[in-house]
Amino acid sequence: MMIIVFIFGLLTSSISAQLTHGQTRVLYETFDGPSLNTTIWNNGYPWGSYYNHRANTTPRQAKITPDGFLNITAMKERTITLGLMTEYGPIDLDYTSGAINSNGKFCMKNGFIDISLRTPQSGSTWPSVFLVPEDGGQVPMLTVMEVFNSRTRYSYGFKYTNDKNEVEEISFVADNIQTSDGIHRYGLDWGYDQITWYYDDKWVNTQTKSDELRQVDNMCLVISLGVGGKSKETPIAPQDYPSVMSVDLLEIWQPKYDGFYKFQNVQTGLLLEINSATHNWGEQVLQWHDNGGDWQIWHVQYAGHGQYRLIVAHSRLGLDSDNWGTDDGTKLIQWPYHSGNNQLWKIQVVDENTPDIVQLINVHTLTNSDAGKMISVPANDVSAGVQLHLWRDLNSNLQKWKMIRL
């Protein structure tokens, strides 16, 4: 197995308003009980009651408490007489702890997970939250958070199969944080292109992994408190046990849009299309009368981090701002998709009462110009056949599009 490790400092700028952009909340789990909600959760790991650490898990160690927590307690007690060979060496299962998983009950292809929890103080425990494929083993794996040894850092990453058919892992460490002094929030967001991690509402890291994310499909959540394992550098002090991990809240959001759409300009009534239905790289994006062509149909896919990509159905090329332009008047074209920010879009609802009317804001312009620029019909020529361009927000209907789901 190949492991690539990076160390990251945490940035301090907050982007909390952006966290769930373009998504809808589908789960709000407060762990209020009276008992674990078995519509969502199973006990143990998806593959059984133990994994690569020293504790066997039992349902009684993962309890909903009267004060509204999921408290998972690790204790010095043997509940299984099995030795185990793991990636961290031979392990005796001489402790008992808890884990829960959503296998077969709540699994997701992409979206945003935000979980609030407090890790136990003992450095010999190994709390973690991760996702694995439904019914299908341990690769690919998306790690929301895991803490081993020190409580002032946490680790996160992505494990996948590389093009040589080897298991490869990217793994990162966020330093200078506290995980056991109270409840903290850990976020993970992913789509077809990007994985983004957050801590306490702040951006931590984004990785673009378009090829590897193709392996990611129905992913189910695991919340676990291990003993030893990756935390094996810290000697286990029996007086530290029982040791409790507390989970307070879990929110899951999923992309609002996924599938094939037409985009109709609110003022002109014309559709976003590719000139003459060509497959040429660099061909113009126009507005034209609805004629039912595939070159007027857009595949809208969640790229990750609140952004979408728009792939035109006939050529499978991406909607692209010409030459990474950021000025007002930058032309729109189709171009082979490369997951660059000039091909990523925020889909912004203008008024919650008309959720199908949106603005399409180019991501590259959001940080590289004085204002975010959006797909606009030029005000000086609104005729059928005019090439569309980017322009700053004028609150004009020429910049608003009705999304028609097919």
> 32-35 contacts: CB < 8 A, separation 24 or more?
32/64, 32/68, 33/64, 33/65, 33/66, 33/68, 34/64, 35/64
Provide the minimum distance between the beta carbon of 371 and ligand NAG in the complex, in angstroms, as a whole number: 40
Provide the minimum distance between the beta carbon of 129 and ligand NAG in the complex, in angstroms, as a whole number: 16
Provide the minimum distance between the beta carbon of 69 and ligand NAG in the complex, in angstroms, as a whole number: 4
When the beta carbons of 221 and 347 are compared against ligand NAG, the nearer one is 221
When the beta carbons of 63 and 389 are compared against ligand NAG, the nearer one is 63
365 with 326: CB under 8 angstroms? yes
When the beta carbons of 106 and 160 are compared against ligand NAG, the nearer one is 106
Q: Output the residue with the shortest Cβ distance to ligand NAG.
A: 246
The site for ligand NAG (CB under 6 A) is made up of: 27, 37, 39-40, 65, 67, 69, 71, 118, 244, 246
| Longest distance between any two alpha carbons in the chain, whole Å | 79
Provide the minimum distance between the beta carbon of 132 and ligand NAG in the complex, in angstroms, as a whole number: 20
**CA torsion, points 346, 350, 352, 357, in degrees to nearest 10?**
-80
Burial class of residue 238 (count of CB atoms within 10 Å of its CB; 0-12, 13-18, 19+): exposed
Give φ, ψ of 212 to 5 degrees: -70, -35
206 with 305: CB under 8 angstroms? yes
182 with 118: CB under 8 angstroms? yes
Q: State both tokens at 50.
A: 């133990």
When the beta carbons of 13 and 39 are compared against ligand NAG, the nearer one is 39
When the beta carbons of 179 and 326 are compared against ligand NAG, the nearer one is 179
When the beta carbons of 111 and 140 are compared against ligand NAG, the nearer one is 111
Provide the minimum distance between the beta carbon of 59 and ligand NAG in the complex, in angstroms, as a whole number: 16
Provide the minimum distance between the beta carbon of 165 and ligand NAG in the complex, in angstroms, as a whole number: 38
User: Alpha helices of 256-395 — where are they, by DSSP H?
Assistant: 363-368
Compute the half-sphere exposure of residue 229: CA atoms within 13 Å on the CB side of its CA: 20
